[in-house]
Structure 1
Amino acid sequence: MENTILHLDLDTFFVSVERLYDNRLVGKPILIGGSSDRGVVASCSYEARAYGVHSAMPMKRAKELCPDAIQIRGNSGAYTKHSEAVTEIIKETVPLYEKTSIDEFYADLTGLDKFFSSYQMAKELRVRIKKETGLPISFGLSRNKTVSKVATGEAKPDNEIRVDNGLEKPFLAPLSISKIPMVGQKTQLTLYSLGVKKIQTIQEMPVELMEKVLGKNGVSIWRKANGLDNSPVIPYSERKSISTERTFDKDTIDVHKLKGILLAMAENLAFQLRRGLKLTACVTVKVRYSDFNTYTLQSRIPYTSADHVLIPKTLELFNKLYNKRLLVRLIGVRFSHLVEGGLQINLFEDNEEIINLYHAMDKIRDKHGDRSVLRAYGMEAKTISRFNPFNGEPPPLLANRRR
């Protein structure tokens, strides 16, 4: 039985949500990001893209390219709310789906053609999402993730493309190599230097040559260029989480120490999120007292992986839980409801300096260990236990894992 994989992507998601709240923005060039010229573009409308604007561009440069653009700071809470509304519709409609980011989904429709057309089901799902949420959405349908994702990109804005079985290579052939998922700028330049600009050229190359030029990544790119991809749709579950906790050798009421350790925990887990290109939408704090009574408190938040959002929320929850009259035996932090995504969702809150600071700190941690850069307040946390975000098993130390 041939697989049938659907890829769905909400078009210019942040912009589309803003237009729901203010229809005067429809048809206008929109920039969403930091409110100052030192900010960064988190998202932009197709009208702004026509001027050469793109996400992650300094806001000052974007306004130079498109001086008539309307600049909006952005509302992460609104974006999270509408993402969850779309997720609920997909959950009710398809038997197996994967949420890969705040605005992107896969669904496995394999075998459904025995009962009704998978393509018709995809079309009806798209219509329902548009009708119930007011958000434009595009989809691609084929027998694997790679081709479906590329098809979605070609379908945009607000359209759909089906690639029938056996037509994957002809569909991909005339497209730029930049359309292949996971082909970054560096790889693109390497291939350009070899005269490889179209996917068809890769299709005609021996896989051994691609491996010689790009190593294992070259083999992966060659397979994708030829429409080959066996990766499964991974069932989405909001139970996915990453957590850490600390049991004290001696119970304590030192609140300064407790807050310092919690800060270090939240900072470390935020780094783990960014390193894994993930975002969290739920923070939980756990406190166990000397009498072994254990209490937890959680809070839903807009998707983020930023220290300056997660650390204050962690400390806020601890302040609500903490009973000053009791000795504390254990404290812990968990980030859950994880989805794929990078810092881009925070770009409308942060300026370029903050983003560059995160990148610089994370680079040092990757090279020298996750405790090589710390906030002074959290230095009392000598060790931090971590748990794998998917199966709960403690992984090796990050420093060892990276070597």
Structure 2
Amino acid sequence: MTTPTAAGVRDRHILRVHFHLPYDDPTRYEEFIGLLTTLTPLVQPLPPLAAELDVTGSLRLFDRDVEALGRLLQIRVKALYGIDTSVGAAPNRMLATMAADATPLGGLTLVPHTVDAIARFLRPRPVAALPRIGPATARTLTRHGLHQIGALADTPLLTLQRLLGTATGRLLHDRAHGIDPRPVEPGENAKSTSITREFPHDTLDPAAHYAALLGLAEDLGLRLRTSGQVTKTLTLTVRYADRTTTNRSRTLNEATQHSRALAADAHALLTVLGLQRARVRAFTLRAEGLSQAADASAQLSFEPADEHALALESVADRIRARYGAAAVQPATLATPHVRSRSATRQENRT
């Protein structure tokens, strides 16, 4: 089987790196980015804990192939900061991101620059693993028997365009064949950010589900306020014991960065899912459509309780800035059933 390739797909070498820190540290992250620029000037920061590098021009300079350069990156970060990384190496940004997401702590996943290797990497994966496939699109595809990326790649373009529309059909047809011409753009602001919380064991308890989601909303709100951003859309992803996932999205009434509002909308998403008997392994809460808080409009509130909550949030942020993110938290999060291992990452969406 012959699959199409984007022009120059064999000529690009992209690294996606995830930094594994126990908590967000903007100062440390800036140091990481500075280190990455010693390998290539083409570094796209994806704060708080990821970045992408185009190392195409660096291979000859360092006299290494892309895998060896990725290992060098990992060794330098580990030696200087004691931090483990996960790295994906591939011909384009989409493949590198998917490779990094599938890589365990301290590992490196290489997608070779051949049509067959790209097909072997993509075809067995579920269609929901492709970027830009939301829950509605995934439902449409699976309803028509397209459960894996391989089946999506084998579907004629015109059929996909009839199912999904001209632009989306073309985009997913290209992505299913491993085509992604987007360049690495140094300094570009990310358009989404997400936080994942994994339970130490598969969890049925609705109270634990709620508490974990509250913790995600608290962390996500703090991150948005620290970066001076607001979000207009929340997406909740639930990963179950059998490794399947469910996604639900919600457009907010107004763009916000406040944890209380994020928690309310996240809880509404959880309620819609109805997980009374679901064994949950992890939650991911993603803020999308990010914009600068200074440019966002806000509806005036005349409720004293709202003003009081915002004032408390501001005080809590100042305490966290001085003593750490865990210095202030809701009482619910101090109970034993929410002591779960959490990991954070941010994705760039274009």
TM-score by length of 1: 0.47
Relative distance call for 1:278 and 1:157 in structure 2 (3 A) is closer
Alignment match, 1:103: 49
Whether the 8 Å CA contact 1:278–1:341 is kept in 2: the answer is no
Whether the 8 Å CA contact 1:180–1:224 is kept in 2: the answer is yes
Computed over aligned residues only, the root mean square deviation of the Cα atoms, in angstroms, reads 3.9
Q: d(CA) in 2 for partners of 1:278 and 1:188?
A: 21
3-state SS of 1:235 partner: coil
Alignment match, 1:114: 60
Relative distance call for 1:341 and 1:165 in structure 2 (3 A) is farther
Shift of 1:91: 2.3
Matching of residue 179 in structure 1 with residue 188 in structure 2: no
Matching of residue 92 in structure 1 with residue 18 in structure 2: no
Whether the 8 Å CA contact 1:5–1:107 is kept in 2: the answer is yes
Relative distance call for 1:217 and 1:121 in structure 2 (3 A) is same
- The amino acid of 2:300's aligned partner reads L
Q: d(CA) in 2 for partners of 1:84 and 1:146?
A: 24
- The amino acid of 2:265's aligned partner reads N
Whether the 8 Å CA contact 2:89–2:99 is kept in 1: the answer is yes
Larger Rg: 1
Alignment match, 1:124: 72
Name which of 185, 199, 215 aligns with 2:149: 199
Alignment of 1:259-274 (within 5 A): none
Matching of residue 9 in structure 1 with residue 18 in structure 2: yes
Name which of 74, 90, 93 aligns with 1:142: 90
Matching of residue 305 in structure 1 with residue 191 in structure 2: no
Unmatched 5+ stretches in structure 1: 19-77, 241-272, 280-301, 311-334, 364-369, 378-403
String of CA shifts for 1:54-93, please: whole Å, max 9, x gaps: xxxxxxxxxxxxxxxxxxxxxxxx5323322322221233
Relative distance call for 1:372 and 1:106 in structure 2 (3 A) is closer
Q: d(CA) in 2 for partners of 1:97 and 1:127?
A: 18
- The amino acid of 1:181's aligned partner reads P
Matching of residue 222 in structure 1 with residue 173 in structure 2: yes
Shift of 1:227: 0.6
- The amino acid of 2:16's aligned partner reads H
Runs of 4+ residues deviating >4 angstroms: 338-344, 351-355
Relative distance call for 1:165 and 1:341 in structure 2 (3 A) is farther
Q: d(CA) in 2 for partners of 1:227 and 1:165?
A: 11
- The amino acid of 1:91's aligned partner reads T
Q: d(CA) in 2 for partners of 1:208 and 1:141?
A: 32
Q: d(CA) in 2 for partners of 1:339 and 1:376?
A: 21
Alignment match, 1:210: 160
Name which of 166, 183, 186 aligns with 1:232: 183
Alignment match, 1:374: 300
- The amino acid of 1:207's aligned partner reads L
Q: d(CA) in 2 for partners of 1:157 and 1:135?
A: 10
Relative distance call for 1:354 and 1:142 in structure 2 (3 A) is closer
String of CA shifts for 1:272-299, please: whole Å, max 9, x gaps: x9xx5479xxxxxxxxxxxxxxxxxxxx
Shift of 1:208: 1.4
Alignment of 1:60-75 (within 5 A): none
Shift of 1:127: 1.7
Unmatched 5+ stretches in structure 2: 1-7, 195-220, 236-257, 270-287, 290-295, 304-350
Q: d(CA) in 1 for partners of 2:28 and 2:58?
A: 28
Relative distance call for 1:212 and 1:153 in structure 2 (3 A) is same
- The amino acid of 2:99's aligned partner reads A
Alignment of 1:204-353 (within 5 A): 204-215=154-165, 216-236=167-187, 277=192, 304-306=223-225, 350-351=259-260
- The amino acid of 1:231's aligned partner reads R
Shift of 1:158: 2.6
Alignment of 1:19-34 (within 5 A): none
String of CA shifts for 1:10-56, please: whole Å, max 9, x gaps: 3xx4xx425xxxxxxxxxxxxxxxxxxxxxxxxxxxxxxxxxxxxxx
Whether the 8 Å CA contact 2:39–2:55 is kept in 1: the answer is no
Name which of 60, 74, 82 aligns with 2:28: 82
Shift of 1:202: 0.8
Alignment match, 1:168: 118
Alignment match, 2:311: none
3-state SS of 1:137 partner: strand
Name which of 97, 103, 121 aligns with 1:155: 103
Q: d(CA) in 2 for partners of 1:9 and 1:341?
A: 25
Whether the 8 Å CA contact 2:14–2:96 is kept in 1: the answer is yes
3-state SS of 2:79 partner: helix
Whether the 8 Å CA contact 1:17–1:79 is kept in 2: the answer is no
Whether the 8 Å CA contact 1:138–1:159 is kept in 2: the answer is yes
Relative distance call for 1:9 and 1:372 in structure 2 (3 A) is closer
- The amino acid of 2:45's aligned partner reads K
Alignment of 1:33-72 (within 5 A): none
